[in-house]
Amino acid sequence: MNRLSLDLMELMGTSLGLKDEKYYRKFFEDGCAIFRCNYYPPCKQPDRALGTGPHRDPTALTILHQDGVSGLEVFTQGIWRTVRPYPGSFVINLGDLFVPMSEGKYNSCLHRAVLNKDTVRKSLVFFIFSRKDKLIVPPEELVSGDSRNYPEFTWSDYQKFVVSKYRLLLLPKRRWSRS
C-alpha cells in the first residue's frame, strides 16, 4: 500500500506538470501511514444514523477498498452520490493535507459512510501523511508571485488543529439529505 501511495504521489506531480515529477514521492517517502479496518453493522433505521458523518480526510491521500456493499457517498454538485463498489478496485481520495501542497490546484473530497438495513459493510482504508515535523509547502513552481495561498505548518500542528476545530469548519450550509 505504501508503494502504491508513493506511485500515486508521483502521478500527482506529473498531473501538475512539475519539473521534478517525483517531488511528492520524495516528500512522503519518509512519511507515516495508518491502516484501518472499518466495520458497519446493519441498522434497522439507516436513514436515522450514519456510519461515519460528513468529513474530509485530514491526511494527504486515502486508498479505500470496499467490500461489495454500498455505503460510501461523496458530496458533489450539491447532493450526496453513492460510490458503488467495484470488485478488485480502490477508491482514491485526496485529503486536506494535499490541498496546500498543490497550492489549491486540487481539493479534498467531502464524504460520509451510510449504513445498510440488512447487511454488514466492511472497508479497508490506508491513509498517508508526512512526518510530524516536516513543513507542508507546495513546490515553488506552483506558487505565483511572492506569496502562497496557504501558510506553512507541520503535520503535528495540523493534527492539533483538526482535533480542536477542524470538523466544525467543513460542514456546508446545505441539508444533509440522502439523495
Element (H, E) at 110: none
3-state secondary structure of 167: helix
Q: Classify residue 88 as left (phi > 0), alpha (psi -120 to 50) or beta.
A: left
Exposed/middle/buried for 102, CB within 10 Å: 0-12, 13-18, 19+?
buried
- Residue 84 annotated in active site: no
Q: Are 112 and 44 in contact (CB under 8 A)?
A: no
What single-letter DSSP state applies at residue 100? H
For the chain, counts of helices (H) and of strands (E): 5, 10
Exposed/middle/buried for 87, CB within 10 Å: 0-12, 13-18, 19+?
exposed
Catalytic pick among 81, 121, 167, 178 = 121
Catalytic residues: 121
